[in-house]
Structure 1
Amino acid sequence: MTFPEQGPEQSGPLSVDELRELNAKVSEVFKSLAIDKRRLPTSQLGGRGIPAYVAEWVLEKVVPGHGELTTAEANKVMEWAARVIPGPSEQNIIKHKLAQGQTVKVLTPLQAEVQIKKGKEPERVAQLSLLGISDAYISDGLLDEYPDLLRQGMWGVVELGALQDGAAVLSFQPMQASVNLNLYKEARRKFTLHEWRAILLTTLGFDPSAFTEQQQTWLLARLLPLVQKNMHMMELAPKGTGKSFMYENISPKVRLISGGNISPAVLFVNNANGNWGLLARFKVVVLDEVQTSKFERPEEIVGGLKGYLANGKLTRGGLHETASDCGFVMLANITLDDNQNPVKSSLVEELPKFLRETAFLDRLKALIPGWELPKLSSRLLVGTDSALTVGLKSDFFGDALVALREDLEADAYAARAVRLGGEMPYRRNEAAVRDMAAGLMKIQFPHGEVTPEEFYTHCLKPAIRLRQGVWDELYGLDSEYRQYEATIRPA
């Protein structure tokens, strides 16, 4: 079976019949990189506390195949998980086995660091957070082979053994997806825009037929920090709209912080030992539930963030400095009225006071209007009744999005095409709109083939709306911004 190149665009979202027909096309074009998204919920792997990009890797490793999982396949997966994926209550059992001289294989995130202490030989230690082990021995060979272990860490199957003074990583089988960006772009040419948008949403676990075209755009806008360097934004919505759902399950290069204590050392750098924080080690850092999070030294945090969001430089007290292209995302709940509109005149009123400073808000490029999205429920997710169930494997998709950061074709297009109107457009508005329009082009037109009309409708127009949300807050909170026009518009 072969499929033609991209044909004429449809005028709107796909019908149920068109979505059903699309399943075969996705499987044919992407082959082993496609997966039936119904397989994951029936596997019960979500209950083992692993993200979707890991769980789908497990499914392909243990029970490769198509369609929904059979009972026999589901049982086989759970038996494998019981042996290899440790639960919180199994930490001591694993340590007991190690103490008896046994080797143990576990699926876990593995992160390493090199500790240099005065007068001592450098130590290479591995951290296995699911096992409560923070000082396992790891060889130079593994660190040379998998340098990401020293960055944000990697998921994989770790074989552990015991040394006289602790545990040792004997071998490591990483969860890896090879990304060929040219093949990804070539595959995009086989689909119309509306087919492609439906595939992306299905890949994220959503049923595309459950959302309007505008709502689909806001869901896809959540991907902007993955495809664009230093894309900083916030999403405000009521509880239960799934703001963190995508970030939890998209890529190991995305770090979601939900609750707990947030300190300058965690975000920027630990001045005591020189270890860089999350913004230096990940591609995207997401703060969830910021309206109730506990911030240690909030003035230092917002001061450091203002500098970082403006120029991509991380520093703390002048002791250490580095550059980073990590995106920063804030997620917060807001109160809505009976008509599902925000109650407060200022959308940021429910944020902690130090995060309402206009000099900080101005550095955020986008505000996703999450209140326009429905509350997350089973009818919005891919399920047995969904028409389109085949999407891309999450680990491959996440890596493809991050790889698009280095593809500057869309950035060059946006630099030529985006100009804002008015006598004196605000510089940060124009830069933010240009960056977001380029990002939306990478998401929807990764092959670079877009007409001026398509770019305006699907890239520039939503980018302006996303920046307008930030601009409205600045305009209402600080008279300094009222020297510019209230409405952002293209030239």
Structure 2
Amino acid sequence: MTDHIDGKALEEFKGCVVRKDLAPLIKGGANVPAFVLEYLLANTCSTDDEDRIREGIENVKNVLREHYVNPEESTLIQSKLKEHGKYKIIDKISVELDAQRDCYWANIVNSNIKKANISDQLVRSHEKLLLGGIWAIIDMEYDPMITVGSKVFPFLVNDIKPIQLSNFSIERIAEKRKDFTKEEWKKLLLRSAGYEPDSEGLDDRIQDLLLLRLIPLVEANFNMVELGPRSSGKSYIYKEVTPYALLMSGGQGTVAKLFVNNTTGRVGSVGEWDAICFDESTDHLFKDSDAVPLMKDYMESGSFSRGGKGGEISGNASIIYNGNINQPVETVLQNSHLFSPMSTEVNNDTAFLDRINAYLPGWEIKKFAPSNFTTHFGFSTDFFSEFLKALRKDTYYEAIDTYFSLGNHLKQRDAKSVRRIVSGYIKLLHPDGNYSREDLEEYLKIALEMRRRVKEQLKRIGGMEFWDTNFSYIDKESQEEVFVTLPEEKSSALIENVPLAPGVCYSATSDGDHVGIVRVEIVNVPGNGKITVTGTNSSAIKEDVKNTVNYIKANEKNILDERHSLKETDLNIQITNVLGNNTSSGIGGAIYVGILSALYKKNLKAGLAVVGNITIGGAVEKVLQFADKVSSLAENGAKMVIVPMDNIAELATVPTTVLSKCDVPFYNNAQVLLQKALE
């Protein structure tokens, strides 16, 4: 059933809109991309007249029946070519260079035709044939007299008509945009991509995220990650909605295919496509290991060096990394970081990950139900893809400067990313360039969130280098500063802000590169001095426990009253990694206050953490990676971190944002530590 947006779309864009449920109806089980079907549907089905729609569908079915090649019909098509001499087919065609024979061979995918003859001129006119291939209407010929040596190669490609719009005017869209409200235009865009914005589950937040998937198509050299559940349409846009994007399976990226073939000098996919989407990037990304440094170069500047060949080579392709998260996001955050599901080639490479402009939280987009796909009118896919491509020529990089400035935590890469996300939303929703202050503020908040998500994970991986994540913007008129948070971080505090139960304390440890957070939980029962440590196999942790217990035993008369003795008490000590698995030495102070608070049944202060060791002789050891440990504890909920006095000179290295929300008192002996720790 049509609505008023359908009416407007048909009136303003007649011949360029189709009912979006028609292509799936015709497609059935055939492996025909949506843009192929809608290319055929656009001329006959851009109407709300049901009779004309039925007639148009029949025409398209006839064309597909006669000319579209299903893989199982490949032998029949080859036979028709032999019998008729010439035949027109709709198929995907790719080309490869045979350097030994100095010629090109065409491969027709569904027709299963290998090594068809094709002229150099056709290849030069359609270079994407060499980069994964294109869908096209292909004029084929069969000539058994064509031979190379003693072999017959009878198939010949006479002509190619790519399935793309022949002409397009962005000015037309800009002119017609004024006849739609912002919400109407937003719905038309989403319907053009196949979604139904009025369906259950696609609220305003999800709609904004779905539009974000389009930004790599309207912003050149835009790098994005989306990880989420299966069947949520992560790759759909880049496979079905545009012929200008390349969907690449994980592990297939080679230097020659992506960047440059050093034998031929031909620039690879980054120079020929608008977007390259690495599907299943959680498994494997590149076939060649040396593709990683080249990709870093390219993601940073849009260019790369050919090494020994000399010179910089540029490209415009945006890079998208898609993949699945198989655990709840809360679990991932508690144990690691949100890049950890990605391929091991890059998931801890901060230089690589810092080049990501936006991290789309795919876990918020649930699996699509049939009702989430629209039955209304939207731009035909070929028209829509040309619209997206045309928008790449514009930029609204400085749009926010009229009303807002960015907070001081945003570094150059952060600011660049935020500006480009805002620019992308303006291009999509305001192709006429008319937008309001309120529109800008809305897009700015989304942009800050998407880049901050990248930075927060970098902080988890790289520590102090990426600590400035308190992203904000400042209203130039009121000078009010607004801070932007992340939905998944709001409830991710690991250290509870309530008085800790007797025996419970937190600490931080490190493997030398990464900081982990541990929870110490101690239960005491009457016994004969047995100590049981569970939850860890770390010899360093067990050494901390041994030294702390021996210190208390050696000084029982000064530390414990006559009612308590470790000789008559069994201690069960549970060590839990609540963030990371980087367990090592340095938690003796937390064990000490845990044991005494358990013995005396006294609560410890709210949000308490203790770092540092107490030796058997009672000395307090200086903490290594002091700033990283204090900052990590504070960012995960600690309200007080008690630290060794020997680290006092390093207090200046702790960010002021950390010190503003967490007390950092010092201790130089066990007695002072206990006094400051008890509630």
Report the TM range for the smaller structure's normalisation.
0.7 to 0.9
Aligned residue identity for 2:316: D
Pairs within 5 Å for 1:33-44: 33-43=16-26
Measured after TM superposition, the shift of residue 370 of structure 1 is 0.9
Measured after TM superposition, the shift of residue 171 of structure 1 is 3.0
Provide the residue aligned with 1:413 in structure 2: 399
Residue 107 (structure 1) aligned with residue 90 (structure 2): yes
1:409-463 superposed Cα distances (whole Å, 9 cap, x missing partner): x2342465663212x6311101110111111110111111011121111x21111
User: What TM-score does the superposition give when structure 2 sets the normalisation length?
Assistant: 0.62
1:160 pairs, out of 118, 140, 161, with 140
Measured after TM superposition, the shift of residue 60 of structure 1 is 3.4
Structure 1 range deviating more: 370-379 or 136-145: 136-145
- Name the CA distance, whole Å, in 1 between partners of 2:213 and 2:139: 36
- Name the CA distance, whole Å, in 2 between partners of 1:125 and 1:312: 31
Structure 1 range deviating more: 411-420 or 223-232: 411-420
Q: Does the CA contact (< 8 Å) of 1:358 and 1:474 recur in 2?
A: yes
2:186 pairs, out of 183, 197, 200, with 197
Provide the residue aligned with 2:470 in structure 1: 487
1:433 pairs, out of 412, 418, 441, with 418
Aligned residue identity for 2:399: Y
Provide the residue aligned with 2:495 in structure 1: none
Residue 209 (structure 1) aligned with residue 201 (structure 2): no
Q: Does the CA contact (< 8 Å) of 1:262 and 1:293 recur in 2?
A: no
Measured after TM superposition, the shift of residue 376 of structure 1 is 1.2
- Name the CA distance, whole Å, in 1 between partners of 2:328 and 2:49: 42
Structure 1 range deviating more: 161-170 or 470-479: 161-170
Q: Does the CA contact (< 8 Å) of 1:268 and 1:315 recur in 2?
A: no
Q: Does the CA contact (< 8 Å) of 1:418 and 1:460 recur in 2?
A: no
Structure 1 unmatched ranges of 5 or more: 1-16, 384-388
Q: Does the CA contact (< 8 Å) of 2:220 and 2:316 recur in 1?
A: yes
Q: Does the CA contact (< 8 Å) of 1:202 and 1:390 recur in 2?
A: yes
- Name the CA distance, whole Å, in 1 between partners of 2:399 and 2:113: 48
1:401 pairs, out of 388, 401, 404, with 388
Measured after TM superposition, the shift of residue 68 of structure 1 is 6.4
- Name the CA distance, whole Å, in 2 between partners of 1:49 and 1:398: 20
Aligned residue identity for 2:157: V
| Structure showing the higher helix proportion among its residues | 1
Aligned residue identity for 2:449: R
Measured after TM superposition, the shift of residue 31 of structure 1 is 1.2
Provide the residue aligned with 2:283 in structure 1: 292
Larger radius of gyration: 2
Indicate the SS of the match to 1:230.
Answer: coil
Measured after TM superposition, the shift of residue 127 of structure 1 is 4.0
Q: Does the CA contact (< 8 Å) of 2:228 and 2:362 recur in 1?
A: yes
Measured after TM superposition, the shift of residue 71 of structure 1 is 6.7
Q: Does the CA contact (< 8 Å) of 2:41 and 2:56 recur in 1?
A: no
Measured after TM superposition, the shift of residue 112 of structure 1 is 5.2
- Size of the aligned set, in residue pairs, is 460
Indicate the SS of the match to 1:47.
Answer: coil
1:340–1:85 Cα change, 3 Å: farther
User: What TM-score does the superposition give when structure 1 sets the normalisation length?
Assistant: 0.85
Q: Does the CA contact (< 8 Å) of 2:229 and 2:366 recur in 1?
A: no
- Name the CA distance, whole Å, in 2 between partners of 1:308 and 1:89: 40
Q: Does the CA contact (< 8 Å) of 2:91 and 2:110 recur in 1?
A: yes
Measured after TM superposition, the shift of residue 311 of structure 1 is 1.2
Measured after TM superposition, the shift of residue 239 of structure 1 is 1.5
Q: Does the CA contact (< 8 Å) of 1:39 and 1:67 recur in 2?
A: no
- Give the structure, 1 or 2, with the largest relative contact order (CA under 8 Å, sep 6 or more): 1
- Name the CA distance, whole Å, in 2 between partners of 1:155 and 1:478: 44
Q: Does the CA contact (< 8 Å) of 1:116 and 1:123 recur in 2?
A: yes
Structure 2 unmatched ranges of 5 or more: 148-152, 475-679
Aligned residue identity for 2:141: G
Q: Does the CA contact (< 8 Å) of 1:114 and 1:125 recur in 2?
A: yes
Pairs within 5 Å for 1:239-318: 239-259=230-250, 261-293=252-284, 295-298=286-289, 300-318=290-308
Q: Does the CA contact (< 8 Å) of 2:89 and 2:139 recur in 1?
A: yes
Provide the residue aligned with 2:39 in structure 1: 57
Indicate the SS of the match to 1:331.
Answer: strand
2:433 pairs, out of 432, 448, 463, with 448
Q: Does the CA contact (< 8 Å) of 1:46 and 1:52 recur in 2?
A: no
State the percentage of identical aligned residues.
Answer: 28
Residue 228 (structure 1) aligned with residue 208 (structure 2): no
Indicate the SS of the match to 1:318.
Answer: helix
Structure 1 range deviating more: 83-92 or 213-222: 83-92
- Name the CA distance, whole Å, in 2 between partners of 1:188 and 1:340: 44
Pairs within 5 Å for 1:111-122: 111=94
Measured after TM superposition, the shift of residue 352 of structure 1 is 1.8
- Name the CA distance, whole Å, in 2 between partners of 1:315 and 1:113: 24
1:95–1:276 Cα change, 3 Å: farther
Residue 172 (structure 1) aligned with residue 160 (structure 2): yes
- Name the CA distance, whole Å, in 2 between partners of 1:303 and 1:339: 32
Measured after TM superposition, the shift of residue 78 of structure 1 is 3.5
